[in-house]
Each structure stands twice: as C-alpha cells, then as structure tokens.
Chains A and B, each alone.
Chain A
Amino acid sequence: MKAKFSPKRVWAILVRHLFSWPRDLESLAESFWWPSFDLFIWGLVTVYLQMSENTPSIFISFFLGAIVLWMFVYRSQQEMSFTFLKEVWDRNILNIFTTPLTVWEFLSASMILGITKLTISALWMTFLAYILFQFNVFTLGFWFIPFLLNLLLVGWSAGFLINGLIVQYGWRVQSFAWTLILVIQPFSAVFYPVSVMPGWMQGVAAVIPTSYVFEGMRAVLVEGRFEVNNLLFATGLNLIYISLSALYFARSFRRAKETGMIVKFS
C-alpha cells in the first residue's frame, strides 16, 4: 500500500522547528549574522575598488548580487541538512520516525522551512544592501525569480546528497553539511565569469547549474539582456541532479535501515 502524504505531519515538523528557531543562536547566526557579515565585508571591498577610475560602476552590483544569490544556494542546502541533523543532535530521531511521519514528509518540511527562513534572511539582506550600499537586488527584474528557483534547486540537490551521505556513513561525515557545497563555488562563476577560468575549470563549470545562473545574472546586470539559454541549461541540469540526488537519498535511507545506522543516531 502506497504511503499517503500528509500535509498535517509536514506542518507538525514545521511547528517543531519554528518553536526552536528563535531560541537557537547558531541558527539565527546562520540566518542573519554570517550573511550580514559577508555582505558588509564584500560591500566595503567593492566600495574601495570603485574608488579606482578603471573599475566599472556595475562592479558593486556584481558582488552584492552574487553574495545575496549565493546565500540561496548554501542556506537552502544547509537548512535541509540541519533540519535532519538537529533531530540527530537532540536524540529525537527515533521519536519522530516511530510516528507515521514518512521521510519524504520530513524532507518536504525541511524544504519549506528552508524557503521560509531564506525569505526572511533574503529580505534582511536586501534591506541591508540597500541601506548600506544603495544596492537594489530587484534591479535584476522578474528574471530574478527563475534564477532564484534554480539556486534553491541546487541547494536541495546538494541537501539530498549530503543527507544521503550522513544517513549512510553516520556522524563522521556530518561536517559535509557545512563544507561540501563550497566545493562547487569556485566553478559557479559567483564572483567572476566562466571565461576567466582555466580550460579544465570551464569544463567542470559547464555541468554545474549555478555557473549558468550567475552568468545569466551578469548578462542582465551588465548588458540588460536576459539569456534564456542560461536558464534552460541551469533548469535542465538541476532536474537531472535533483532526481539523482533524491534517488541516492532514498537508497541511502533504505540502506541505513538495513545496516541499523538509523538506530545508532539515537
């Protein structure tokens, strides 16, 4: 019999995390402090660079836009991994998985929680960027939204992969939740275009969806031109990666039940 997806159980997990979020200093720091810190440092660097006559005036938009958008990738991934890890750290994982809650309901709650927190963080960052550096993220226009959704998909694909690794290999790989996503950052063309990368890096960038998103963002900002190909490539790659990573997670979870790893988390 196929399990019925229950939005009420998804809501229960959301409530659990929304109760604890305001009391969780680490989580608040992840949502507000570190992104603000990044924005402030990079903002000042770009202000300094702009003092040079040779620096294009659009430079500040590159950097601040990149910082705000990159936050969508790593925060959506982290939120997905941390929602799971918090249950492990609280030794609550057996409690929740001995209820009718399914793992897909749990992951759906993680994704919704990620979007909720991200929206709040992004609004805060947008406000800060505007107040401190007069940078308006919305200058990217409505094309900002599909790019943003693609970045969320990248974060979720990485989240599925990392959660899969954690349930398969246990505690020893939990640091992937903080670090693994950074592996793709140099290839993502976040702060520089793909064209400045060495040939082998360009090869890697070609299969990384974020590179198309950031290239697309630059095209909108510099030339005011929206390249639909960038969006199509990013979306296509994302659909492949999210399917593969979700399958990997499902396999790892099944395997963790076979090896008894789930019980060891308590």
Chain B
Amino acid sequence: MGKTILLVKNLVKRFGKVKAVNNVSFSVKEGEIVGVLGPNGAGKTTTLSMILGNITPSSGSIQVFDMDFEKHREEVLQKMNYSSAYVRAPWRLKVWEHLFVFALLYQIDKPRKRVDQMLKVFKLEKYNNTFCGDLSAGNMARLNLSKAFINEPKFVLLDEPTSSLDPDIADRVRNFIKESRDKFKTTILITSHNMAEIEELCDRVIFMNRGKIIARDTPEGLAKKIKKTKVRLMISDGRKRTISYCKRNNLPIHVNDRYVSIEVGESEIAYLLNGLAAAGVEYSEISIDKPSLEDFFIEEVRNES
C-alpha cells in the first residue's frame, strides 16, 4: 500500500457540552477507498467537515498529503474535492457554466475542454445547456460528482454519492469511482447508507457511533463479527415442530407465514437441519444468508442504543 494521504489524530469536536466527535484517529493510504459508516448523529458529517476545513476541530490534528490542513489549506484543497447529496448547484446556471466556474476555481488549463470531458464521463452531454435548477435529483447527483472529479483530485470525499440515483446510474458511478482509484490512484473517503455499495467499493470501513470509532476493518471482517447465519426455510409440514425445536435449543426464530428464519452459528447449520429432519419437519425451500455489513450495522446500533 502507498503513502498516507490522510492522517487524523485524536480529533475532538465539541458543540457546547456535546462531544460530536470524540478522540477519533485514523489514516487513509493512497489509492484506498475507505467507508465511514454509522447511524445518523454518529459524527460522520462533522468529521468530514473538519477534514474539509469547514468546521474547526476543538483539538487534534488533520494532515493531508503530509501537510497540516490549517497551515496549507489552499495547497491541500487544490488536490482534493468533495461531493455531497445535500449540496446543490446554482439554479440559474447552466450545467456547463457550473462546471466551468469550478474549472476556473481550480485553475485548470483549457477549462472548457475539461468540462466537456466530465459531461461525457457522467453522461450529462445532453444536459449541457440545461439550467441546474431544472435537473432531476439523479442528474443533480451526477453533476455534483462531475464537479468532484473536475480537478483530477488525488483525494475525494464523497458524502452519500449515489443516493437518489437509479440503479443503472448508481452502478456507473461506482464503476467510475473504482476506475478512478485503479487508474489514477485516487484516494476516496466515502459515507453511504447503502451497505451493499460500501461492501462493493471499500477496502476498509470505519464504523462510528456517538462520536467515536467503535470498529474498523474490511467490510468482510466487520460482517464476520456477526456470528449468526440466517437459515430461511419454507415449511411445507411441521411449522409448530420447527418452533418448538428452536425454543428447546434456544435458537432465535422469526416466523412469517410459511417462512421461518432461524439464527444459528455457521458451524451449527448441519446440526439444525439434522434436528429438524429428525423431528419430521419438511421444507420445500432453503436459503442461507451469511452475515452482511448491514447485519453488523444493525446489531451495533441496536446494542449501543
């Protein structure tokens, strides 16, 4: 893995008596895609805002490209960019004009040419002369992403980049993000509530809750922390016997009409199926859901609350 692009040390942000971010430390290496996950109010946006310089930390330090952010703000931001589902573009500007302004802000050579390139990459060519205010939510998200990559950044922060995009465009965006990392070694810090997306994109995940990092690992590593696998059966005969078998063996069971979902350790699946067969239970469908990042998310959040 390459050099460290982002180094966050003992970051604290207090708003009055509330500690929104509490002693957070992490680093991101060149070419990595790191996800920041957590429930609403976990401190993700505050952390991202501090990395972007829009919120001043109460204490701690942020180094980007080996430079202290506070002291080298312009130099750092020249090589960074940002996109959020929560920002918009001036509604009286045309799509190309909005991108052109950012190309000027980043002092890009041949700004108009770069704008055309970005319009092509994000399939926005036909909206070139459309006013930003007339764009659909999906196209606005694409415009935000075009803006985020206009300066060929080395480090990008993406806040919910694919929310409000249809599956096709969301897939294109994910591919672009991966391509950008593979081709240009772009380092990406991403927040999303789409767990499948985080699993697909991220090399590592930082899980925050109540201002603290409570877990960090690969998406698979976090999912593996959930020991239980869900065995889902469509019972054709023996529903009551299944329920009583699970109760006897202390196995959590959720019943939904003819379907039952039983939580069991991965190594105990064979014993479960043998036990049900011995009890004369018959089933016509079976599926085994391995624990996912979403299961980890839900369990962590519920345990904390």
Which one of A11, A94, A95, A100 contacts B73 once the chains associate, using CB atoms below 8 Å?
A100
Bound: A113/B56 CA distance, A: 30
Task: Verify B78–A92 contact, CB threshold 8 A.
Answer: no
Chain B residue at minimum C-beta to C-beta distance from A96: B105
As a 0/1 sequence over residues 147 to 161 of chain A, the CB contacts with chain B under 8 angstroms (1 = contact) are 000000000000000
Q: Does B71 contact A (CB under 8 A)?
A: yes
Task: Verify B77–A98 contact, CB threshold 8 A.
Answer: yes
Bound: A90/B49 CA distance, A: 19
Task: Verify A94–B77 contact, CB threshold 8 A.
Answer: no
Chain A's interface size range is: 35 or more
Task: Verify A92–B107 contact, CB threshold 8 A.
Answer: no
Main secondary structure of the interface of B (DSSP, over half): mixed
Task: Verify B77–A257 contact, CB threshold 8 A.
Answer: no
Most buried by B among A24, A257, A259: A257
Write out the residue numbers on chain B whose beta carbons fall within 8 Å of the beta carbon of A9: 104-105, 107
Write out the residue numbers on chain A whose beta carbons fall within 8 Å of the beta carbon of B105: 9, 12-13, 96, 99-101
Chain B residue at minimum C-beta to C-beta distance from A260: B55
Chain A residue at minimum C-beta to C-beta distance from B13: A260
Binds A, one of B82-90, B192-200, B240-248, B268-276: B82-90
Which residues in chain A, 229-266, are within 8 Å of chain B measured between CB atoms? 254, 257-260, 262-263, 266
Task: Verify A16–B101 contact, CB threshold 8 A.
Answer: yes
Write out the residue numbers on chain B whose beta carbons fall within 8 Å of the beta carbon of A11: 104
Task: Verify B55–A92 contact, CB threshold 8 A.
Answer: no
Task: Verify A86–B101 contact, CB threshold 8 A.
Answer: no
Task: Verify A92–B88 contact, CB threshold 8 A.
Answer: yes
Q: Does A1 contact B (CB under 8 A)?
A: yes
Write out the residue numbers on chain B whose beta carbons fall within 8 Å of the beta carbon of A20: 90, 92-93
Q: Does A15 contact B (CB under 8 A)?
A: yes
Write out the residue numbers on chain B whose beta carbons fall within 8 Å of the beta carbon of A254: 56
Q: Does B97 contact A (CB under 8 A)?
A: yes
As a 0/1 sequence over residues 2 to 42 of chain A, the CB contacts with chain B under 8 angstroms (1 = contact) are 01101011011101100110011000000000000000000
State whether A90 and B89 are in contact (beta carbons under 8 Å apart), knowing that A4-B74, A102-B74, A263-B54 are contacts in the complex: yes
Q: Does A97 contact B (CB under 8 A)?
A: yes
State whether A92 and B89 are in contact (beta carbons under 8 Å apart), knowing that A3-B74, A98-B77, A101-B105 are contacts in the complex: yes
Task: Verify B56–A266 contact, CB threshold 8 A.
Answer: no
Write out the residue numbers on chain A whose beta carbons fall within 8 Å of the beta carbon of B94: 19
Write out the residue numbers on chain B whose beta carbons fall within 8 Å of the beta carbon of A98: 52-54, 77, 80-82
Q: Return the 5 tightest CB-CB contacts between A and B, nearest first.
A: A12-B104, A91-B88, A100-B74, A20-B92, A90-B90
- Contacts A9-B105, A20-B90 known; list 9 others, CB within 8 Å: A8-B104, A11-B104, A15-B101, A94-B54, A98-B54, A100-B73, A100-B105, A260-B15, A263-B54
Can you list 30 residue pairs at the A/B interface with Cβ under 8 Å? A1-B71, A3-B74, A6-B74, A6-B107, A8-B104, A12-B101, A12-B102, A12-B105, A15-B101, A15-B104, A20-B92, A23-B92, A87-B90, A90-B89, A90-B90, A91-B87, A92-B89, A94-B54, A94-B82, A95-B89, A95-B102, A97-B53, A98-B80, A99-B77, A99-B102, A100-B74, A257-B53, A258-B56, A259-B15, A263-B55
